Homo-oligomer: A and B are copies of this chain.
Amino acid sequence: MKQAVNLLSLFLAAGLTANAQRPPSLSSPDVHSDHSITFRYYSRTAQTVSLNGEFLPTPLPLIKDTSGIWTVTVPPVQPDIYPYSFMVDSVQVADPNNTYIFANERFKRSIVDVVGDAPLIHSLQNVPHGAVSYRYYASSTLGTTRQLLVYTPPGFKASGKKKYPVLYLIHGGSDTEETWIKVGRANFIADNLIAQGKAEPMIIVMPYGNVRPKPMGDFTKDVIDDIIPFIESNYPVLNDSWHRAVAGFSVGGGQTLNIGLTNTDKFAYICSYAPYTATEEFQKNFTNWMPDANKMNKELKLFTISVGTEDFLYNSVKQNIAMFEEKKIKLKSYIVPGGHTWMNCKKYLATTLEGIFH
């Protein structure tokens, strides 16, 4: 059996690739009680290894010891969930010793969870938990069967009398339908706010928005013509605009503006987070846009645009806010510190969940 043990060690450490070399077992990331973090990487042959993290202004070099273990310790950081990666010579990689991966089409970053002294709004707390389900819907718009995720709140009954409001929640560019759960922790944020009585029990639908070549037009059509009918025929939901919201981040924030503002009869809540709007589609749809502001302001119960002051889209988003204000559309802007990050996304979402369906 000895050979099998050794073979399995290889297999466990590095998958089933033929040329896998077993690295020493490393603890990385290692979050210390003062919220400082040690990162480790093993390579005997790399020339340079550096750490890129959203808690760092610039990359930090790791230092190699004689056994091939590269290490760096970062001073205490604010408790939160942060993406990071290593640059090993020319190759960006996720941390091979960390099982917690940033859900993205590229999967090249890891996540470090710096737990606070008190539980944070995105923490798994001792409250009733909702479920998150993969569902498959036929998209007539895109001519294929696509997947989406559906959060149902604690105590949800598919065939009970209670009907639920629905938030349609869209990820950013290169993210996937899982990013709002695995990085944004939308389900735990909802569980916690519902348990605290601050958010209404609701269904949250997280589609996959990366649609080419027209992410605004085609995805808007997919949401309106395919996703909403799928949800409304499979879940007990309230189907008037006052019980329907749309929100999204970055590219998904731009999609949110398009989906919501061209369908204010269907969505009374539009919450756009750091929207990316520098596209021909957005220009075409909104530059010479002449909305009936009075009608729209009656239809909309809440229209918010959120952005961080260090977001690389900050100026662009401010221009968007000014543009909507100029057109007399009533909106709340929610300007906070921070960049174009999922740390900020979690705050934007918590604010949305507290603000809708009341």
**Closest-CB distance, A111 to chain B (whole angstroms):** 11
**Closest-CB distance, A222 to chain B (whole angstroms):** 17
Which residues on the B side are within 8 Å of A107 (C-beta)?
94, 101, 107
Complex CA gap A120/B54 in Å reads 43
Given A12-B174, A158-B159, A159-B158, verify A90-B131 contact (CB < 8 Å): no
Smallest Cβ-Cβ distance to A144: which chain B residue: B124
Smallest Cβ-Cβ distance to A99: which chain B residue: B105
Which residues on the B side are within 8 Å of A61 (C-beta)?
none
Q: Which of A78-104 contact B (CB under 8 A)?
A: 83, 85, 87-94, 96, 99, 101-102, 104
Complex CA gap A154/B102 in Å reads 31
Q: How many residues of A contact B (CB 8 A)?
A: 71
Complex CA gap A135/B99 in Å reads 19
Smallest Cβ-Cβ distance to A145: which chain B residue: B124
Set B14, B99, B157, B312: member contacting A7, Cβ < 8 A: B312
Which residues on the B side are within 8 Å of A17 (C-beta)?
52, 85, 92, 109
Q: Mark A134-169, 1 if CB is under 8 A from B, else 0.
A: 111000000001000000000001111000000000
Which residues on the B side are within 8 Å of A124 (C-beta)?
136, 145
**Closest-CB distance, A271 to chain B (whole angstroms):** 21
**Closest-CB distance, A319 to chain B (whole angstroms):** 9
Q: Mark A1-43, 1 if CB is under 8 A from B, else 0.
A: 1001101100111111111100000000000000000000001
**Closest-CB distance, A172 to chain B (whole angstroms):** 8
A233 within 8 A of B: no
Which residues on the B side are within 8 Å of A92 (C-beta)?
14, 17, 20
**Closest-CB distance, A214 to chain B (whole angstroms):** 15
Is B91 touching A278 in the complex (CB atoms < 8 A)? no
Is A88 touching B87 in the complex (CB atoms < 8 A)? no
Is B173 touching A106 in the complex (CB atoms < 8 A)? no
Is B89 touching A14 in the complex (CB atoms < 8 A)? no
A352 within 8 A of B: no
A176 within 8 A of B: yes
Which residues on the B side are within 8 Å of A96 (C-beta)?
106, 108
Which residues on the B side are within 8 Å of A250 (C-beta)?
11
**Closest-CB distance, A213 to chain B (whole angstroms):** 13
- Listed by A's residue number, 9 A-B pairs whose Cβ atoms lie within 8 Å are A4-B278, A15-B106, A15-B109, A45-B90, A94-B108, A124-B145, A131-B135, A157-B159, A159-B159
- With contacts A15-B174, A101-B107 known, what are 17 further pairs, Cβ within 8 A? A4-B316, A7-B312, A8-B173, A13-B174, A18-B52, A18-B59, A19-B59, A19-B87, A43-B90, A88-B90, A89-B90, A131-B133, A131-B135, A132-B133, A132-B134, A134-B181, A134-B187
